[in-house]
Amino acid sequence: MSYYKESILIVAAHPDDEVLGCGGSIAKFAKAGCDVHVVFLADGVGSRHQMPADKTIHDELVRRRGAAHAALTHLGVSSVDFGDFPDNRMDSLHELDVTKFVEKYVATYRPDTIFTHHAGDLNVDHRRVHQAVITACRPQPGHPVRTILFFEIPSSTEWQTPGSSVPFLPNWFVDISSVFELKQLALRSYATEMRAWPHTRSYEAVEHLARWRGATVGVEAAEAFMLGRAVIHDRDILPVEAPRD
C-alpha cells in the first residue's frame, strides 16, 4: 500500500517551519525519488522589533530566504516558493486571499500529499495557513490531494494552553533515523532562528523531540504528525497472489 507518490507539497508559514516540522520527512521522501515542493506564505521577518542598526527589513528578508534555500538544498527539494504575506499578521487578511494563494500551488504541483501546520498552534500565522490548506483541499471529485498531514512546531504547538484549542495528538509517524543528521544540518542554516537550551527551539530540544517520537514507535528518531485525511484508491492496494497448489 502506498501513500506517497510522485509529488509532495509542504505548505509552511515561515522559513524554518518546514525543517522543524518535517525536515527529516522531506529528506527521506526526496531521497526516495519523490518531487518535494515547499511554499512559504509569510515573510517571516516583518514583525521583528529588534533589527540590527545596519540592516533593513529587506536585508533580513533576503537573509532568511537565503537560509531557506541553503537548508532545503541539504534536504533535496525540487522547488521553493515564497509568498509575502505579513509576518504574524495573517489574521488581518481575508481568508479567501490566503486560500487562493495555496490553491495556485496545489494546481501547479498537483501533490498527492500535503504537510502543513496543526490547527492548534499558538502562532496565528500557523493557524491561518492550516485553515487555508484545508479549504484549498476540499475533497471534490478529481482533486489531486489524497493525504493531509499536520506537523508540530517546537515553540508554537506545545506552547498552546490546554482547552484553548485542539491538542496535537500524533497518530502518524515517519522514521527519520537514517536522515536525522540531514535535518540537523538543515537547521544549521537557520542558526539565527534557533535558541539556547532549554528553549524548545534549540538544537538539543529538536533532537530530544525526535528521539522521543521515535522511542514511542520503536525507532531511533521520528517525526510525528496528525492525520487530517487519507484516501486509499483501488490502485494503492497490491493484489494478493493466489495460493499455489
Give the integer Cα–Cα distance in Å for 39 and 18.
9
Q: What is the DSSP string of 92-132?
A: GS-HHHHHHHHHHHHHHH--SEEEEE-TT-SSHHHHHHHHH
Give the integer Cα–Cα distance in Å for 232 and 98.
28
Q: What is the pLDDT of residue 132?
A: 98
Give the integer Cα–Cα distance in Å for 83 and 37.
14
Give the integer Cα–Cα distance in Å for 146 and 19.
23
Give the integer Cα–Cα distance in Å for 20 and 24.
9
For residue range 205-223, list pLDDT tens digits in order: 999 999 999 999 999 999 9
Q: What is the pLDDT of residue 6?
A: 77
Q: What is the pLDDT of residue 54?
A: 57
Largest CA distance in the chain: 80
Q: What is the pLDDT of residue 112?
A: 96
Q: What is the pLDDT of residue 1?
A: 40
Give the integer Cα–Cα distance in Å for 156 and 189.
20
Q: What is the pLDDT along the chain (245 residues), one digit of tens a residue?
A: 454 557 999 999 999 999 999 999 999 999 999 999 999 999 877 665 565 555 688 899 999 999 999 999 999 999 999 999 999 999 999 999 999 999 999 999 999 999 999 999 999 999 999 999 999 999 999 999 999 999 999 999 999 999 999 999 999 999 999 999 999 999 999 999 999 999 999 999 999 999 999 999 999 999 999 999 999 988 777 666 656 65
Question: By C-alpha distance, which of 132, 181, 187 is closest to 12?
Answer: 132
List all residues 6 or more positions away from 138 whose beta carbon is below 8 Å from its beta carbon.
Answer: none
Tell me the HSE value of 88 on the side-chain side, using a 13 A CA sphere: 9
Q: Which three cell numbers stand for residue 191?
A: 542558526
Please, what are the domains in the chain?
7-236 (3.40.50.10320)
Q: What is the pLDDT of residue 53?
A: 57
Give the integer Cα–Cα distance in Å for 178 and 198.
26
**Cis preceding linkage at 141, omega within 30:** no
Q: What is the pLDDT of residue 245?
A: 57
pTM over 0.75: yes
Q: Which three cell numbers stand for residue 39?
A: 511554499
Give the integer Cα–Cα distance in Å for 70 and 187.
10
Rg (CA), the chain: 18
